[in-house]
Chain A
Amino acid sequence: MEIDWSVVITYMPQLLQGAKTTIYITILGLVGGLVLGSIAGLMRAYGGRILNAIAFVYIELIRGTPIVVQVMFLYFALPVLADIRIDPMGAAVLSIVVNAGAYIAEIVRGAFLSIGKGLSEAGLALGLPRWKVLVYIVGPLAFRRLIPPLGNQFIVSLKDTSLFIVIGVAELTRTGQEIMASNFRAVEIWTAVAVLYLIMTGALTLLLRVVEKRMKIL
């Protein structure tokens, strides 16, 4: 069979539509994951025994199971268990939220705890309440240390969206597969899909480099 790159152009609008869905799921999922992960991470770092235990169980549950199983659970098992029905798109976004949230929680915890105790004590010794010490002193320092590992997690989550092929979400990988099924142009289509992923992850990497450069790690 001859390789014919013109099919890529023919199917590009469809592939771009898939890429758009991938980006959409990633962004919504990561925004939610950042919120959930920050809360869980701070619970781990500063919560009392109970908050800490709740966050710990959540994180270990998620880190200990594959994301495909998590999305299958949300999409197929939750309706049976709790009569909660979500569409594939919702399940996909929620999976990223819950999955990325667990990894981000560990990143957040690590970054906050890496800031020396002496700085918090210096803040407390001035007569500041603990929350102000976290917001004005530890937070800004921890934030700078968050960026590199967060960048990694963003890239992992973006690629994880390809697993939602299992619940039929029309993201980029699924789109590639559908096109494949109709024309069997494996080399051309999968090359195009791979390149589109590389462009997305590349753009993300570049963006993070810029942010990292602008914020010196102290």
Chain B
Amino acid sequence: MSIIEFHKTSKAFGPLTVLDEVDLSIDAGEVVVLVGPSGSGKSTLLRCINALETITGGDLIVDGLSVKGNARQLREIRQEAGMVFQQFNLFPQLTALKNVAFGPRQVRHLSQSEAESVARDLLKKVGLEDKADHLPSELSGGQQQRVAIARALAVKPKVMLFDEPTSALDPELKHEVLSVMQQLAEEGMTMVVVTHEMAFAKKVGSRLIFMEHGKIAVDGNPRDVIDNPPNDRMKDFLHHVE
């Protein structure tokens, strides 16, 4: 069953069309890796799914709800679609534990102690139980991003969206974040991941989408399309990222 359905979805910023009548449906359990040149609309596509961007044409259904719905429905969609940002965006005034507990407390209305127990379990899952009382500024980039993943998971989403989660990290820190993501994928989480990590795409992805000028240019099995790019632009692109 599809959990995300794009129906001729368009997004324009003023005169600039960034998504051009995209048709795409993503099933529960898929790990979709989204690649493409800078400005091709990857982040925008991701941000339309949880309605951080408002679509300007067509429709987009997430877990049965349209992103064109009212504010309450949008909040429901966002609770089902967790997001991880390139810049982590942890709340700087809160400890790692409180960052993770924040969603369950404020969104799922758990008590503070229940929320913190959920948070503690998730910090353990991302290997950071010993950093619970650290502020984000006291953590490395890789640790911050793992806290951010835990924070998104704490609301119990059905889908996880990742926008270049390792691009702001030093090479030696990327691995710790990618392995948490791989673990999530193995547990059956539905994921949409914008990344330049082709090794991750091949190993973990179940589907690879190459975007170009706001359209889906290639959609296939990661191992097949990375080893044998079906068009020259994708071949060029892969050449650049590797």
Question: CB-defined interface of B77-95 with A at 8 Å, one 1/0 digit per residue?
Answer: 0110011010101111100
Once A121-B85, A218-B137 are accepted as A-B contacts, the answer to whether A126 and B91 lie under 8 Å apart by CB is no
- Bound form: Cα–Cα A140–B94 in Å: 11
Check B75 for interface membership: any CB of A closer than 8 A: yes
Within 8 A of B (CB), among A119-133: 119, 121-129, 132
- Bound form: Cα–Cα A126–B109 in Å: 13
Among A119, A124, A125, A127, contact of B91 (Cβ-Cβ < 8 Å): A119
Whole-angstrom distance between the Cβ of B171 and the nearest chain A Cβ: 23
Question: CB-defined interface of A95-134 with B at 8 Å, one 1/0 digit per residue?
Answer: 0000000000000000000001011011111111100100
Contact between A124 and B52 (Cβ–Cβ < 8 Å)? Answer: yes
Question: CB-defined interface of B100-112 with A at 8 Å, one 1/0 digit per residue?
Answer: 0011001100000
- Bound form: Cα–Cα A128–B78 in Å: 8
Contact between A126 and B137 (Cβ–Cβ < 8 Å)? Answer: no
- Bound form: Cα–Cα A124–B83 in Å: 10
Contacting residues, chain A, for B196 (C-beta < 8 A):
none
Contacting residues, chain B, for A129 (C-beta < 8 A):
71, 75
Contacting residues, chain B, for A121 (C-beta < 8 A):
52, 85, 89
Once A118-B85, A121-B85 are accepted as A-B contacts, the answer to whether A126 and B93 lie under 8 Å apart by CB is no
- Bound form: Cα–Cα A218–B92 in Å: 6
Whole-angstrom distance between the Cβ of A146 and the nearest chain B Cβ: 14
Contacting residues, chain B, for A141 (C-beta < 8 A):
92-93
Check A150 for interface membership: any CB of B closer than 8 A: no
Contact between A126 and B92 (Cβ–Cβ < 8 Å)? Answer: no
Check B63 for interface membership: any CB of A closer than 8 A: no
Contact between B52 and A126 (Cβ–Cβ < 8 Å)? Answer: no
Contacting residues, chain B, for A128 (C-beta < 8 A):
75, 106-107
Among B71, B76, B87, B103, contact of A126 (Cβ-Cβ < 8 Å): B103
Whole-angstrom distance between the Cβ of B101 and the nearest chain A Cβ: 11
Contacting residues, chain B, for A132 (C-beta < 8 A):
106
Within 8 A of A (CB), among B44-94: 50, 52, 71, 75-76, 78-79, 82-83, 85, 87, 89-93
Contacting residues, chain B, for A136 (C-beta < 8 A):
102, 106
Contact between A125 and B106 (Cβ–Cβ < 8 Å)? Answer: no
Once A128-B107, A129-B75 are accepted as A-B contacts, the answer to whether A218 and B155 lie under 8 Å apart by CB is no
Within 8 A of A (CB), among B111-143: 137
Contact between B102 and A126 (Cβ–Cβ < 8 Å)? Answer: yes
Among A119, A127, A218, contact of B89 (Cβ-Cβ < 8 Å): A119
Question: CB-defined interface of A128-152 with B at 8 Å, one 1/0 digit per residue?
Answer: 1100100011001100000000000
- Bound form: Cα–Cα A132–B103 in Å: 11
Whole-angstrom distance between the Cβ of A51 and the nearest chain B Cβ: 18
Contact between B87 and A118 (Cβ–Cβ < 8 Å)? Answer: yes
Question: CB-defined interface of B149-188 with A at 8 Å, one 1/0 digit per residue?
Answer: 0011001000000000000000000000000000000000
- Bound form: Cα–Cα A122–B52 in Å: 10
Contacting residues, chain A, for B76 (C-beta < 8 A):
127
Whole-angstrom distance between the Cβ of A218 and the nearest chain B Cβ: 4
- Bound form: Cα–Cα A122–B103 in Å: 10
Once A140-B93, A218-B93 are accepted as A-B contacts, the answer to whether A127 and B85 lie under 8 Å apart by CB is no
- Bound form: Cα–Cα A125–B89 in Å: 11
- Bound form: Cα–Cα A127–B83 in Å: 10
Contacting residues, chain A, for B79 (C-beta < 8 A):
126-127
Contacting residues, chain A, for B107 (C-beta < 8 A):
126-128
A selection of 13 A-B contacts at a CB cut-off of 8 Å is A118-B85, A122-B85, A122-B148, A122-B151, A125-B82, A125-B83, A126-B106, A126-B107, A127-B107, A128-B75, A129-B71, A141-B93, A218-B93
Known: A118-B87, A126-B151, A127-B103. 9 other contacts (CB 8 A): A119-B92, A122-B89, A122-B90, A122-B91, A124-B52, A126-B102, A127-B78, A128-B75, A218-B92
